[in-house]
Every structure is written in C-alpha cells, then in structure tokens.
Amino acid sequence: MAKRLPPDEFKRNESVKTLDALPGVPQGTTGRVYLVDGFAWTRYRVLFDNGIDVGSLDGSSLARRRDYEAALERRARAAAAKDDTVSAAASGDGDAEAGGGGGGEKTVNGVVVPALLLDRSKRARERLSAA
C-alpha cells in the first residue's frame, strides 16, 4: 500500500498550487516542485506556470491541485477559530488590565513584544534623533 503524505509535504515533480500570493505569483497559480530540501524545515523550490521560480517555500503555502479548494476551506476555518479565540481572550484581558496589570504589548508576526521593550526602543530612538 502506498504511503500517503501529509497535506503540507510534497515530492519532487509534484504539481501544486499556491495558497498565498507570492512576489510575481498570484494566489492559485499552478507549478511544479523541482527541489525538496531541508532537515528540520522542509522547503520547496517551485517553478510556476507563469515562468516565476520561487525557492524556500514552506509547505503550508502550497497545496496539491486536487486538494486546493479543501486547503482554502481548512485555512478559512482555522482563521475563524483563531479570531474567536482572540476575541474571547480580548474580552478576558480587559478585566485583567483594569486591575493594574500593565498592557501596552504589541504582537509582531505572531510574537508578543512586551511594553518594556517597546518603551526601551522608543527612548533609544529619541536619544539618537536628538544627537
């Protein structure tokens, strides 16, 4: 029996579609994987039908042609679940912040940056602009 690969793992010469708009490649463009590389992070090099060659693509930004619609639906469901979680957490955080718990944090690329670091970099920029 043939081993079935997970939805975000591809083999060489496999036909794929992009789930994200990439530089020079609109969302939904088909292409062919011609290089699979990496140990801890498997990355792919894809030659798209519009002639653009993109390397170091993560498997989460690609889908098999037959699974393209299902992959878009999975992404939409995951985004909706994340929005629900964030809105529930935001309503709970408002009570904690009112208790004097600080705040002022900012999320950049999915990483929470503490207010302390934001203040420190603001003061450094002010020092450098005054000099």
- Counted domains in the chain: 2
Same domain, 46 and 88: yes
pTM given for the model? 0.61
Same domain, 93 and 120: no
Closest to 52 measured CA to CA, from 8, 12, 18: 18
Residue-level pLDDT, tens digit, the chain, 131 residues: 667 777 778 999 999 999 999 989 999 999 999 999 988 889 999 999 999 999 889 999 999 999 999 999 998 998 888 887 777 777 765 444 443 345 678 887 778 888 888 899 999 999 998 76
Count CB atoms within 10 A of the CB of residue 36: 16
Instruction: Find the domain containing 113 and state its range.
Output: 101-131
